[in-house]
Amino acid sequence: MKNIPSVDLSDFLSNDPARKQKFIQEIGEAYEEIGFVALRGHFLSDELTENLYKEVKNFFDLPDEIKQSYEIEGIGGQRGYTSFGKESAKGKKEGDLKEFWHFGQEVVGNDALKAEYPKNVIVKEIPNFNSVGMEAYNMLEKTALYVLRALALYIGLDEMYFDKYVINGNSILRPIYYPPILGEPKGSVRAAAHGDINLITLLMGASAAGLEVQNKQGKWIPVTSLPEQLVVNVGDMLERLTNNKLRSTVHRVVNPPREDWGKPRYSIPFFTHPISEMKLNCLPECIDEVRPKVYDNIIAGDFLNERLRELGLIK
């Protein structure tokens, strides 16, 4: 497999049962094999993508002291700004060569959840930053919901199984800025090898190459997608829930060749998280004699906190 499989969400959304089943099989088999797909037919328009990148670049161009005024202590970076080098991959002491922002859920109709999540941070210097960010958040969340409906059917669950966990879930939209590399990185990379924590991740086309995934043979494969595609991958929560049936593939963002060190890189992933009470216990549909249960029971909130500690974002 030279690259990741391509699938079209409009097949699943069609009224044609054969096309719908085709999408379910294609994405399910891809997630068993490599854990990544390139997805077209999603809800994020080209215009919204362009607007979001413009707003994100405007934010990261702000002076450091202004950006740092939006760094909120005590919430593990769940909202607002996280400064350069603060996050490191699990098991790696060097910080990644990146800074980022987090947009989070705006809860509707659930006061207990609204109180549980930190509030979104408003950037007063850039009037459209928050509204454009949340518009993109909503379109990516809608796309994620339909991908999870397809995966529920592939696993053998009710199509709407994930809805009650993902609607009002603790999902995050993370615009990332990888600044120009100004000196020898000394072991640091733009993003060290890691698996995502969440159920699924939807990644908008990055401004430069660098993303690689590791296949079953341990070989690193560059990920390329067309501008109109989202790269969508399985996270550790979904791998755990499906007892390793669907694979959370290790991936990384490598440093560019030395001649391109002076070029920055932007990318914008959407991390689809459930509500914290969702049980990540291995599904009975994914346990049998060939595949015995391999994970202890845990809820999503505890799993997330455990991983944030490993990443150095909370103490």
Q: Indicate the pTM of the whole model.
A: 0.91
pLDDT of 102 reads 96
pLDDT of 181 reads 75
Task: Give me the architecture of the 6-310 domain, per CATH.
Answer: Sandwich (2.60)
Asked if residues 253 and 220 have their Cβ atoms less than 8 Å apart, the reply is no
Q: How confident is the model at residue 2 (pLDDT cuts 50, 70, 90)?
A: very low
Sheet strands (E) in 47-156: 80-82, 99-104
The three-state secondary structure class of 153 is helix
Average pLDDT, integer, range 209-215: 78
Average pLDDT, integer, range 218-229: 81
Range name among 147-156, 161-170, 175-184, 241-250 with the lowest pLDDT average: 175-184
Q: Pick the most confident of 80-84, 94-98, 238-242.
A: 238-242
- Residue 70: which of 126, 137, 142 has the closest Cα? 126
Range name among 49-53, 76-80, 188-192 with the lowest pLDDT average: 188-192
Residue 254 pLDDT > 70? yes
Q: Pick the most confident of 173-187, 188-202, 272-286.
A: 272-286
Mean pLDDT in the chain?
A: 88
pLDDT of 30 reads 94
Integer-rounded Cα Rg, in Å, for the chain is 19
For 9-62, write each residue's pLDDT tens digit.
Answer: 999 999 999 999 999 999 999 999 988 999 999 999 999 999 999 999 999 999
Asked if residues 97 and 189 have their Cβ atoms less than 8 Å apart, the reply is yes
pLDDT of 1 reads 36
Sheet strands (E) in the chain: 6-8, 36-40, 80-82, 99-104, 172-173, 176-178, 191-194, 200-204, 211-214, 220-222, 230-234, 251-253, 265-272
* CA 140 vs CA 36, 44, 58, 173, 185: distances in Å: 16, 7, 21, 9, 33
Average pLDDT, integer, range 73-77: 80
Residue ranges of domains in the chain: 6-310
Q: Pick the most confident of 101-115, 183-197, 204-218.
A: 101-115
